[in-house]
Amino acid sequence: MFSFRSKIDPFSTFTINLGPLYLERVFDSLLTRGGVKGLVQMNGAERYALYMDYLKSKINVHNHTQYAVTQFYKGYFDQQLATHSIGSETVRHFQEKALCYYHNYLELAKRDDESRFYAQWQTGVLQDTLNFAWQTVEESLQKAAAIDPMRGEPIKKIVEHHIGTREWKKAYPRSKEALEKYFDKNPVAHRRWFVDFEAYNWSVLARHHTICLFLGYVREAEEANIQKKFFVAS
């Protein structure tokens, strides 16, 4: 089915670094050229399943780069299949598979680019979803934060966890870090893989305000609240 030749290389650094929307359009083009019709009418689950079929037809264990990138794509596509599934068992099945593929990619990939950050970040997210011990989740998120200093999503998730468990003293240093490193420093102009604006906007101040109030840091809470109001109004 996929024996055609194409100038589009889904396994190149250029393709992967342009982000998920571009990546999916590349796979749509490859499938269309391979004779698949009606992609526009297909739902997400059908398209991602076809993407996975394409990858299975292109496995080359002797090409290290291609094999590594394939692991990343499988992780991403299985994660998307989980979001388009209904039954809880099916969702968990795809999430577990995605986690395994991301682990494979992190072991195989040599470059510290955005795809490595994303795989490490989503490893933490999936581990949390699958009820791994928080220590394991936090270690994964901390590794992600270390890979890309511009990305604040892993620290945001750590702060939100500690807020949810009402561990204010643990939340405070991470929240302080988020405020200093990521507030009003949205990297969307330089990053493609699912930038979460709430890791950089007034929400950073709102979380810090809440934490400071519960710790009795009244002045710092007031400063965060004033800064938040100014930021929202500007």
> For residue range 76-117, what is the model confidence (pLDDT) as tens digits?
999 999 999 888 999 999 999 999 999 999 999 877 789 999
How far, in Å, are 6, 60, 76, 220 from residue 122 at the CA level? 31, 25, 9, 32
**CA angle centred on 84, ends 196 and 105, rounded to 5°:** 65
> What's the pLDDT score for residue 7?
62
Quickly count: other Cβ atoms within 10 Å of residue 165's Cβ. Answer: 11
Output the CA torsion 8→69→20→57 (10° steps).
Answer: 60
The string of pLDDT tens digits covering residues 128-180 is: 999 999 999 999 999 999 999 999 999 999 999 999 999 999 999 999 999 99
Asked whether the predicted pLDDT for residue 121 surpasses 80, the reply is yes
> What's the pLDDT score for residue 41?
85
- Cβ within 8 Å of residue 80, ≥6 positions away: 44, 48
